[in-house]
Amino acid sequence: MIQCVRIVLYLSVLVAYVASNAPVAPLDDILIEKTFVPEQCVRAVKDGDYVRYHYNGMFPDGKKFDSSYDRGSTYNVFVGKKQLIQGMDKALVGMCVNERRLVKIPPHLAYGKQGYGNIIPPDSILHFDVLLLDVWNPEDGVQSNTYHTPLICSRKVEVSDYVRYHYNGTLLDGTLFDSSHTRMRTYDTYVGIGWLIAGMDQGLLGMCVGERRIITMPPSLGYGENGDGSDIPGQASLVFDVVLLDLHNPRDGVSVTNQKVPESCTRKTVAGDFVRYHYNGSLLDGTFFDSSYSRNRTYDTYVGRGYVIAGMDEGLIGVCIGERRTITIPPHLGYGEEGTGTKIPGSAVLVFDVDIIDFHNPEDNTEITVTYMPDECIKQTKKGDFVKYHYNASLMDDTSIDSTYNYGKTYNIVLGANQVVPGMEDGLMDMCVGEKRHIVIPPHLGYGERGVTDEVPGSAVLIFDIELVEIEEGLPEGYMFIWNDDVSPDLFTEMDADDNKQVEPSEFTDYIIRQVNEGKGRLAPGFDPYRIIDNMFSNQDRDGDGKITESEFKLKADESASHDEL
């Protein structure tokens, strides 16, 4: 609460009051009445200080003889060095900035019997209404008062560092002359190399990102005798309320701090690898600017090839799957002086908290590890075999994709028939019944850049733990049906059940099915037998009229081309 009381002080001789209607005795010393006292007084005027103040000078009858307000400028002077009339030298001592005093000065402490030209008559008592606006001393230096300190301070401002900060700049009486906040952009500059006024160069040293401090400087370390020509008067003390938002040095490189390193790491990223990772991106003061989590998808890119900013290219080298690290990137390895124009300001240090989900190299092959081998391995899988197996499928971060065990039945395919991704084809080759394998499939041998909607992310490395349950031997390459016995010389006649010299589709199908059931022939396992037979019939029906004549009928061995036929 602002005190506004009328306090009468006698600095030398106590003047006694007389009856209210009686004349007042002549003043022996100055009389001070404090008409406004600020709530806080960080510093009071003492002899040798330099002050700036406004005043109105009046005679006891209220007639004004002088005013700094009328001149539009403060009165600036040293106190206690006989640059003022003696009474004013005494009256200013002990004043605080923004304090207001009504001072009555007797003639012998003013202009005495001589007066002052035709302005102040001899033996005049003078009244001054004084408002103190500024006080400093030639011996003053920069004063810093930190009023907020961040919990973590890994680095402080040093000479030649580049900083970004917000500030409010005021005179000592609180008059605002400038603010970065009103411009909605930070002040960005080097510290300690003369790019700033000397007081700010000194006042920013030792600050931490997130720190808030009041920096007060005398005019000799500010704008000096002349001010800035507009908002800052000459000989003005300056007060800057500063919050430091960013700090780096042009010599800085990428800084990496490991947050989590997996116990097992068989491989680390190298230049040319393709990496899938999640990240949170923030500025050095914690301001969030981007996150892959908010998009619910990883960021997928090559590293070491210039696909990402240079600092991230460097920071993603040498990481393990499952590793979490914080990558701090100076602006010259990030978005530079321009920033992105929206969320990332120019010359901003970037902080990325990354979680490595998986990575691979375009030259990777399917990685096969045998985890169990049965004592006997009589037969191994080959192309064309019909195989039945169980699997557990997951991503590299252990996210489960699918499992045949959940359905209580095996997954059945024909090897080499493109019924599974190429990496699984590789992983199932030369395998024994009962054998178990751990298979790592890079995306170019899996589901590629697109993945599988809602199941497998694009460019994801796949993990399969498989167990081979059964093998049914396939047919030779290029065949969908073979004879187990010698082919009958009367094959066409046997098929032509109604002896009409042509084989109908039903006759053809019935005959082939009968041969298979009697063990005389085999259809390729794993395929729809009727589709195979239909295809065989179409190959024999050379004129496409829906029936086979004896002239059309030929065995596969009789032709050079490979067809699904007899």
Q: How does pLDDT run across 319-363, given as a tens digit for each residue?
A: 999 999 999 999 999 999 999 988 999 999 999 999 999 999 999
* 70 labelled catalytic: no
The predicted structure's pLDDT at residue 556: 53
**119 and 111 Cβ atoms separated by less than 8 Å:** no
* 389 labelled catalytic: no
Residue 395 reports pLDDT greater than 70: yes
Here the tokens at position 185 are 């952009």
What are the angstrom distances between the C-alpha of 236 and each of 194, 225, 233, 247? 20, 8, 6, 29
- Considering the candidates 28, 36, 66, 527, report the single residue annotated as catalytic: 66
**188 and 347 Cβ atoms separated by less than 8 Å:** yes
In this prediction the pTM is 0.78
* Strand 100-105 versus strand 126-136 pairing type: antiparallel
Average pLDDT score over residue span 368-375: 96
User: Vertex 58, ends 57 and 63: CA angle to 5°?
Assistant: 135
Residue 169 reports pLDDT greater than 60: yes
Mark out the alpha helices in 347-446 (DSSP H runs): 422-428
Close Cβ partners of 521 (under 8 Å, ≥ 6 residues apart) = 481, 482, 483, 484, 512, 515
- Considering the candidates 55, 279, 508, 553, report the single residue annotated as catalytic: 55
491 vs 212 pLDDT, higher one: 212
What digits encode the pLDDT tens for the residues 32-50? 999 999 999 989 999 999 9
Rounded Cα–Cα distance for residues 290 and 280 (Å) = 6
Residue 445 reports pLDDT greater than 60: yes
* 66 labelled catalytic: yes
* 214 labelled catalytic: no
Determine what percent of the chain is predicted with pLDDT higher than 90.
Answer: 81
The predicted structure's pLDDT at residue 553: 81
CA 69 to chain centre: 53
In DSSP notation, 164-177 reads: EEEEEEEETT--EE
Average pLDDT score over residue span 182-187: 94
**85 and 66 Cβ atoms separated by less than 8 Å:** no
Residue 11 reports pLDDT greater than 50: no
Average pLDDT score over residue span 397-408: 93
What digits encode the pLDDT tens for the residues 135-167? 999 999 999 999 999 999 999 999 999 999 999
- Considering the candidates 36, 59, 65, 78, report the single residue annotated as catalytic: 65
Rounded Cα–Cα distance for residues 443 and 454 (Å) = 16
560 vs 313 pLDDT, higher one: 313
Rounded Cα–Cα distance for residues 446 and 456 (Å) = 10
The predicted structure's pLDDT at residue 541: 86
Query: By three-state DSSP, how is residue 357 classified?
Result: strand
**409 and 436 Cβ atoms separated by less than 8 Å:** no
The predicted structure's pLDDT at residue 566: 63
* 2 labelled catalytic: no
Determine what percent of the chain is predicted with pLDDT higher than 70.
Answer: 93
CA 256 to chain centre: 14
- Considering the candidates 30, 32, 85, 215, report the single residue annotated as catalytic: 85
Q: What is the three-state SS of 226-279?
A: HCCCCCCCCCCCEEEEEEEEEEECCCCCCEEEEEECCCCCCCCCCCCCEEEEEE
The predicted structure's pLDDT at residue 558: 56
Of 57-61, 80-84, 340-344, 464-468, give the lowest mean pLDDT range. 340-344
- Considering the candidates 29, 50, 53, 111, report the single residue annotated as catalytic: 111
The predicted structure's pLDDT at residue 7: 31
The predicted structure's pLDDT at residue 485: 84
- Considering the candidates 53, 128, 167, 177, report the single residue annotated as catalytic: 128
296, burial (CB in 10 Å: exposed 0-12, middle 13-18, buried 19+): exposed
Nearest of 188, 184, 168, 167 to residue 176 by alpha carbon: 168
**160 and 248 Cβ atoms separated by less than 8 Å:** no
- Which amino acid belongs to residue 55? Y
Nearest of 185, 187, 186, 192 to residue 161 by alpha carbon: 192
* 111 labelled catalytic: yes
Average pLDDT score over residue span 528-538: 91
